[in-house]
Structure 1
Amino acid sequence: MNRIKKHEKWYWWIVVLIELILFYSSSMTYKQQTSVPFLERHLGSSNKPFYHLLNGINFNYGGKIQSIQNDGYFHFVEFFIRKGAHFGIYFLLGLFLTLALYNYFNNFKILSVFVPWMMATGLAAFDEFHQGLTGGRTPSVDDVILDSFGALIASLVLILILYILSYRQKKDLS
């Protein structure tokens, strides 16, 4: 895929940009990052979308039961926003790492998934360590696992798409 090679340096710049965003984000205290006041201000105390659906959900994450009963509606919603952000940003990181490294593993396609996934997992672990140095924040192995899963899914989906495109291109040439 010549297009991937052509834009490789841009993929690396996007990886650096994502890492800078992550570093900045993990430098912030929970109080600086919380979206609870925003949710309370814009939804108000009487408007709680999906309350009845969310009220029946509870699960263990990081050794703590997450539920509306334990955390309150706005903190519970914020939990999903924060974890979605974890998954999403590492999905993007995994995607762009895979694109940046794709041409290095022409003969060993399994490495074009494994190496970016491990790099993203290492960066997630470092990010959680950095977060632990920030006041009012605690590092979480569960967040590293979530981040790692986001990067893995991105790498697998991208490689599958590239494989399908390559297969179609070869089929069209025949």
Structure 2
Amino acid sequence: MKKYIPLALLVVIIFISSSQSYEQQSIVPTLQKLFPNQPLHGFLSQFKIPYWGITVSVEERGYYYFLEFLIRKVAHLLSFGAIAIALYIALYPRKWRYFYAIAITFSLAAADEFHQSFTSGRTATMSDVWLDSFGGLVLLTLFVIILRPFRKKKNR
């Protein structure tokens, strides 16, 4: 049962986060204090990201909102990557646990977006489900690749 605790904690954190409005989660004021000189402004200005029918860019949204957008999306990738890894570990020694972990991560991402649709000021998008699932796939794959040499040593 102990092996499910990290997974449960991650799911609770995601649930609480999805229950908060954008205004409650916004880090724009903090970014404005931390980066008053807008470092990397020129570099970030080169990017235009299509997202949910709009283009997100420094030009369209402003420097701090664009930076916040990037941070939020990286948080999606890392959060669901951590969930996929926690699932993979919790499912040991089950066969096909890699695929189960990916499928369950996708299901949790979809459930998270559905839950988020009931939070005022938030939208549920399939783009975020795919982003979350991609984070799970990439981080879990890296985790499995990094673990491989250690497993070979253990089996000898």
TM-score range, shorter chain: over 0.9
For the residues of structure 1 that align with 2:3 and 2:127, how far apart are their CA atoms? Answer: 27
For the residues of structure 1 that align with 2:77 and 2:16, how far apart are their CA atoms? Answer: 17
SS in 2 for 1:32: helix
1:169 — aligned with what? 154
For the residues of structure 2 that align with 1:167 and 1:42, how far apart are their CA atoms? Answer: 45
Give how far 1:155 is off.
2.3
When the two chains are superposed, the root-mean-square deviation of aligned CA atoms in Å is: 1.3
Structure 1 unaligned residues grouped into runs of 5+: 1-8, 106-110
Among candidates 132, 140, 143, match of residue 147 of structure 1? 132
Matched residue pairs, number?
156
Amino acid paired to 1:36 = V
Structure 2 unaligned residues grouped into runs of 5+: none
For the residues of structure 2 that align with 1:134 and 1:22, how far apart are their CA atoms? Answer: 13
Give how far 1:62 is off.
1.9
Judge conservation of contact 1:86–1:146 (CA < 8 Å) in 2: yes
Report the TM-score when normalising by structure 2. Answer: 0.94
Report the TM-score when normalising by structure 1. Answer: 0.85
For the residues of structure 1 that align with 2:146 and 2:29, how far apart are their CA atoms? Answer: 40
For the residues of structure 2 that align with 1:83 and 1:116, how far apart are their CA atoms? Answer: 21
Amino acid paired to 1:134 = T
Structure 1 segments, 4+ long, off by >4 Å, are none
SS in 1 for 2:92: helix
2:3 — aligned with what? 11
Task: State the identity as a percent.
Answer: 35
Among candidates 102, 120, 137, match of residue 135 of structure 1? 120
Give how far 1:164 is off.
2.3
Amino acid paired to 1:29 = S
2:28 — aligned with what? 36
For the residues of structure 1 that align with 2:154 and 2:11, how far apart are their CA atoms? Answer: 34
Amino acid paired to 1:12 = Y
1:119 — aligned with what? 104
For the residues of structure 2 that align with 1:116 and 1:29, how far apart are their CA atoms? Answer: 29
Judge conservation of contact 1:91–1:150 (CA < 8 Å) in 2: yes
Judge conservation of contact 1:26–1:130 (CA < 8 Å) in 2: yes
For the residues of structure 1 that align with 2:5 and 2:89, how far apart are their CA atoms? Answer: 12
